[in-house]
Amino acid sequence: MLKETFDASKDILKASLVQAGAYSPIRTEPRSPDELLGELFSDVQINQVYPDGKTFVDLVPKERLRSIQQEYQLLKQDPHFDLREFIKRHFYDIAETTHKPKPYVFDKNQTIEKHIDDLWEHLERRNRKDRGSLLALPYKYIVPGGRFNEQFYWDSYFIMIGLATAGRWLELEAMLKNCAYMIRKYGFIPTANRSYFLSRSQPPFFSHMVRLLAEHKGRRILIEYLPLMLAEYKFWMRGQNKITDHAFRRVVKLSNDQILNRYYDNKSTPRPESLRQDTATANSPHANKAKLFLDLRAAAESGWDFSSRWFNDPQDIKTVATTDIIPVDLNALLYHLELTIADAYKTLLQPLLVRKYTMLAARRKELISKYCWDETAGFFVDYNFRRSRNTGVLSLASVVPLYTGVATNDQAAAVANRLKKDFLKTGGLVTTLNATGQQWDAPNGWAPLEYMAIKGLERYGQNELAATIARRWTDLNKQVYKKTYRLVEKYNVIDSGGLGGGGEYLLQDGFGWTNGVYLALVKDLQNKKRPTANS
């Protein structure tokens, strides 16, 4: 009976792999609003018709964009022309475009856990048809909150952790199926389901999502999603045989047989949602604008937009050089993807393919240690392959090799010591040691990084430090909730106020990954307090 099951699985896999080989971006991608609206778009963004640049790119037009653009070209010459009135007349109001439920009413008597339980419903969206820049997805999904009303890639994994903790497996699986749908349709998982995000992805957590569901439904999930994991791997490794001048797209060749990855973007223009900021950053007669825009976009793909990690001068965003950098976290995540693919082939009894992907993972692990481990600092650090040295910026990206198992025991112990000495603050771990005004720097802490640090430390037996971080982080979440009755995107882990700041936009409420990580950590802390049967 077991043999028949495996034979059937192989037949399904064979057909699926043929399909997976065809997973590539659709021939005609939906065009971004900046491409469709041209001068009208830039005029709206540069003149800051909306305080937040993301507002306009998310509006739904009332008619064809070409018609709106043509009318704008005719009317803008009128000395009495009102740009704000024109936009209001041709686009639906933001409240009509995001499918938001009624405004959330805070109950000051609610526990934080009940508040999060209610928020799952409040943050749930469904859109089966394209609406403006919003791209259709077949299943419901949880959004981060605030200005973020799409299914964001890496946010989704940490939201899923909370859904799993709450036993909401149907919602979790629906979000995973949406990710699979995007791989089938676009050849990869974009930053989120918006047309202006179709040139970039985000940190590749798809294999982690698959593992999470497999813990609940069994190893058959690894087989079911294997073709999709292979397709994502193909996206990140595409062009490795076309490399000139060290790099091509997301692949970097350090020597003939040394391949690692970087963040990238398929466009080198200002980000539509941040056109005004990007244009201002590039406002220098000496700037290589195309390279600068590409590096800003690549930093956005990293999820760390923005951080001193990506700057040659930690205090100056104009020195951004993301595409010159091999990020330690990205490569640790791809290591996990390679091992998960190997494990799926193991389930299918395919020893040659198991060996292939296991060897790829082992080689990547070796190269991460060679290029991204700083023995003097006792820390993993990003590597600038253009300058042939590490960047020198110490950040919480160093915990991802612990989270995915890349680190050796000695490396993990050294990272733990450095975290305790320099990063541990009253509210948890600070993201970097640099205070720059960027949101992915001091004094901010972020739920996904706290979670990976805690779980990574636990993986290497650093349980006391892990528990300390978990308590401090969840206590900070509770303190801010008690004062404001909200959960937010990022927190100030150094100062007593607790609310994070910096970056391109105001602090956002919601907040998907904060909710998910809080539930998981609180449950873990409660389980650790419970006496065991032998105690």
- Residues involved in catalysis: 305, 489
From residue 119, alpha-carbon distances to 163, 437, 483 in Å are 11, 30, 18
First CA to last CA distance, the chain:
43
Q: Distance between CA 91 and CA 100 in Å, rounded?
A: 17
Q: In sequence order, which ranges of 259-327 are alpha helices (DSSP H)?
A: 275-281, 289-302
Q: Distance between CA 62 and CA 69 in Å, rounded?
A: 12
- Type of residue numbered 335: Y
131 beta partners: 134
- Type of residue numbered 229: M
Closest CA to 422 of 393, 391, 385: 393
From residue 148, alpha-carbon distances to 51, 286, 305, 494 in Å are 15, 34, 15, 26
Determine whether 527 is exposed, middle or buried from the number of CB atoms within 10 Å of its CB (0-12, 13-18, 19+): exposed
Q: Distance between CA 426 and CA 445 in Å, rounded?
A: 11
CA angle 347–348–349, rounded 5-degree value = 95
H or E stretch including 62? none
From residue 284, alpha-carbon distances to 162, 288, 407 in Å are 45, 9, 42
Closest CA to 202 of 156, 165, 169, 166: 156
Other CB atoms within 10 Å distance of the CB of residue 418? 18
By the 8 A CB rule, do 271 and 56 touch? no
By the 8 A CB rule, do 334 and 364 touch? yes
Q: Distance between CA 461 and CA 455 in Å, rounded?
A: 10
Q: Distance between CA 163 and CA 173 in Å, rounded?
A: 10
